[in-house]
Amino acid sequence: VGVNGAGKTTTIGKLAAQLTRAGLNVYIGAADTFRAAAIDQLAVWAERAGATMIRQEMGSDPASVAFDTLKSAVANKADV
């Protein structure tokens, strides 16, 4: 939670990169389904970090994205 441009997405990407470098299996859920290009921006960070990203279409329910991310992470034995 924070204002636009505060660095939330960048922080997620940097944390994911640190965790994958430490050998952990990282999953990221793209739950900002309302901001233009939010999913694409997070996808770039996830790819750079080597993390798996779960996404849905723009306008989807963010809680649904969170649920799908957790379900996939548990099924695939993610660490984070």
Instruction: Decide if 41 is inside a domain.
Output: yes
Distance CA 8, CA 57 (A): 20
Model pLDDT for residues 31-62, shown as the tens digit of each residue = 999 988 999 999 999 999 999 999 999 999 99
Instruction: Decide if 80 is inside a domain.
Output: no
Domain total for the chain?
Answer: 1
The per-residue pLDDT for 67 is: 98
The per-residue pLDDT for 6 is: 87
Helix (H) / strand (E) containing 69? helix 62-75
The per-residue pLDDT for 28 is: 98
Distance CA 65, CA 45 (A): 18
Question: What is the biggest distance separating any 2 CA atoms in the chain, rounded to whole angstroms?
Answer: 34
The tokens describing 9, both together, are 């997405």
Q: How confident is the model at residue 27 (pLDDT cuts 50, 70, 90)?
A: very high
CA 17 to centroid of chain Cα atoms: 12
Q: Which domain holds residue 49?
A: 8-75
Instruction: Decide if 2 is inside a domain.
Output: no
Q: How confident is the model at residue 2 (pLDDT cuts 50, 70, 90)?
A: confident
